[in-house]
Structure 1
């Protein structure tokens, strides 16, 4: 078993447990009371650490492993300090946001985190150019790095506004959606697709179809941002472009699904049974996400959805938990990048059950909010879903620590 993956992916799972713990605290504060903790501060900590400490950290680890297969295992040593820089700055953000919200320390750690990503992007780009056999995977990864870089402009603008106590609502919202869009529709999506494309190209040999899918997604990424800000006056002038972007995304996803369907028997031989289930669930969540995003092209639907907090939270959790987190776990399990045992699988599927229950409850809450209907005990039920999520991750952690302890004992 690869020691680099074993160590760093265990840290990723630990980080996921911190994300879930903060989410649990947020849900508890809504349902009951926890007066000594500030809700907004915890929310900032939860969201920033989820992006950097869990998703970005894990994508970096898996991308570095991809490099090591072409450039040798020693390449991982080059990136250790960057992984530590991302990790330390992520922990710094998690703690400082809890203590002060947006302030000197949290903004400093956020800035350090962004520069750690810049350094990673720079070195990773150079190393991608060293790979002799060119593939669409390299294009997915390069696009991911570019979109991750672009997303930081929104983060810097937000930090500037918070530090200077500026209150322009339109600028504030456009900056938030700019950062979010180029993170989860740019950096997260393209990095994940790069990992998936690498396996699909090797297994199926469908290079041209996968290249076409990349082109369509890449074309759509920038104009698709404007779907998040349909209330802006100038949007009507580029409405045709937005429709084209939506169609391009759907077409690209259909191509990828077609590649899977045509080669499904071959693909199933190369991945584990539980990994297949997880990847299918992630693909289903992504399909729902694309359908919802396509529906938002209608201005009235967009105004309606962005006007209700439960709908926004449900959508974000669909992307970050249903699509991205389940994909990362599914990818790790599919190709057995760490030792897999029954306890780990049990923990993962308890976590997945929590994700599904959480999404269903948020969907019910969001639909009810449209008619201003209150759902009895909805906050308590969402708290229960958060407990299930957290419990699943704890079981995953116990599994990893048990395995790591056995590995250490074997070396002794």
Structure 2
């Protein structure tokens, strides 16, 4: 990418972008420790903490801290030469890191209070500002597919927050037990995970492959299918609150459209990865492969919901719900994002980072297998896995340990790489 056609643009400092990745990983580590403590709740007694408070802290930090920060870092990295206000980006990303850190402490100690809600509001305002900055800079890209996916990722992020703003009205007028309360939360989560995070990573993947000389395109029909499937698949979480058959049918239609569209999108990405010029000995390569496998697995899991038995199990068996969320966030989002960071030199390639990332991969695969295996046993009315909670906790411990090693790798003197 060049600044020749954009003389007023400022090339962003690559070390600044790398610092965003470091801060994002710190937030990821804290979120992982909170997630590990949640599994510890089922093994030993933790008298000074409330499970629900830790859950809120974990989920908010994973999404609004780790997820948001790494998306901003990668967009800024690939937009170098098109960024008009790098100092403003820098200030806003750092402000969000501070807000999310304080929000996490507030949630752990007191749960939902005026302080935590105020900090959540502050995050939303920062996200809006950063979103509008990105929208302005993304439209300058020559790659129209990346621009389209990136801009709509931000639009869906904006739209998802309607669910958050709607919650106070529901609580005051209808109470937390009303179906609309859960439907509002699921509206936010659905568009965050399947809209904001998925569309953003797809856009970043397109930009990543472009730098390797692989131009990936999406047709108008495919993009329309991507959009309509996202809207229709909200039928499932809406069905959990309002069990009308029409919502289940809409979800089924959305799932089928999604399978066709993502199938067409994944094929050129797989071909690009199979290219002989790709360095298949590089761990970043395999992280991206694992990310795309996770996206494929997500689609397959959603296709099973065409069967009525699995449709009801999706809400009745918590292991399926948690496993599916982690398939998106730890699988597709995290593995792909970290893989791209590694390939672009934003994460050092040394022994510490490699061991840490291997631990990350092991933690993800083993916890997913454990969650879905336990879910299938419960669904078939069989006994639980012996020592299920202890096994799940043991596998989960690899996650924060792996992230810690990746963070430690930044302290090792880095060889000259792709950071530019």
Q: TM-score, normalised by structure 2?
A: 0.88
1:359 aligns with 2:368: yes
The equivalences for 1:389-408 within 5 A come to 389-403=399-413
**1:134 positional shift:** 4.8
How many Å separate the matches in 1 of 2:393 and 2:257? 38
- Residue 128 of structure 2 is matched in structure 1 by 118
- Residue 6 of structure 2 is matched in structure 1 by none
CA 1:314–1:54 in 2, change beyond 3 Å: closer, same or farther?
Answer: same
- Is 1:285–1:322's contact at 8 Å kept on the other side of the alignment? yes
- Is 1:144–1:187's contact at 8 Å kept on the other side of the alignment? yes
- Residue 387 of structure 1 is matched in structure 2 by 397
1:52 aligns with 2:61: no
- Residue 378 of structure 1 is matched in structure 2 by 388
**1:201 positional shift:** 4.2
The equivalences for 1:27-38 within 5 A come to 27-38=39-50
How many Å separate the matches in 1 of 2:19 and 2:272? 33
- Cα deviation per residue 1:207-238 (whole Å; 9 max; x = unaligned)? 44466543431232111111223346585446
Moved more, 266-275 or 313-322: 266-275
CA 1:159–1:311 in 2, change beyond 3 Å: closer, same or farther?
Answer: farther
- Is 2:235–2:248's contact at 8 Å kept on the other side of the alignment? no
CA 1:269–1:160 in 2, change beyond 3 Å: closer, same or farther?
Answer: same
**1:196 positional shift:** 0.5
- Residue 184 of structure 1 is matched in structure 2 by 193
- Is 1:210–1:255's contact at 8 Å kept on the other side of the alignment? no
How many Å separate the matches in 1 of 2:208 and 2:409? 27
- Residue 349 of structure 1 is matched in structure 2 by 358
In terms of fraction of residues, the more helix-rich structure is 1
How many Å separate the matches in 2 of 1:112 and 1:50? 17
CA 1:78–1:270 in 2, change beyond 3 Å: closer, same or farther?
Answer: farther
SS in 2 for 1:31: coil
In structure 1, stretches of 5+ residues that fail to align are 408-412
1:94 aligns with 2:94: no
- Is 1:272–1:335's contact at 8 Å kept on the other side of the alignment? no
Moved more, 240-249 or 368-377: 240-249
CA 1:216–1:367 in 2, change beyond 3 Å: closer, same or farther?
Answer: same
How many Å separate the matches in 2 of 1:26 and 1:76? 38
How many Å separate the matches in 2 of 1:307 and 1:62? 37
Aligned length: 403
Equivalent residue in structure 2 for 1:4, among 8, 11, 16: 16
1:71 aligns with 2:79: no
How many Å separate the matches in 1 of 2:225 and 2:152? 12
Moved more, 301-310 or 153-162: 153-162
- Is 1:271–1:335's contact at 8 Å kept on the other side of the alignment? no
- Is 2:226–2:258's contact at 8 Å kept on the other side of the alignment? yes
- Is 2:42–2:389's contact at 8 Å kept on the other side of the alignment? yes
**1:246 positional shift:** 1.7
**1:96 positional shift:** 0.5
How many Å separate the matches in 1 of 2:259 and 2:144? 23
**1:317 positional shift:** 1.5
- Cα deviation per residue 1:313-369 (whole Å; 9 max; x = unaligned)? 111122111221111111111222333212111101111101111111111221122
- Residue 152 of structure 1 is matched in structure 2 by 161
In structure 2, stretches of 5+ residues that fail to align are 1-12
Equivalent residue in structure 2 for 1:297, among 306, 317, 331: 306
1:311 aligns with 2:323: no
- Is 1:107–1:159's contact at 8 Å kept on the other side of the alignment? no
**1:10 positional shift:** 1.0
Which structure has more RCO (C-alpha within 8 Å, separation ≥ 6)? 1
How many Å separate the matches in 1 of 2:189 and 2:367? 21
- Cα deviation per residue 1:361-389 (whole Å; 9 max; x = unaligned)? 11122112221623221111111112111
- Is 1:144–1:190's contact at 8 Å kept on the other side of the alignment? yes
Q: TM-score, normalised by structure 1?
A: 0.90
**1:3 positional shift:** 0.8
CA 1:238–1:23 in 2, change beyond 3 Å: closer, same or farther?
Answer: closer
CA 1:366–1:105 in 2, change beyond 3 Å: closer, same or farther?
Answer: same
- Residue 282 of structure 1 is matched in structure 2 by 291
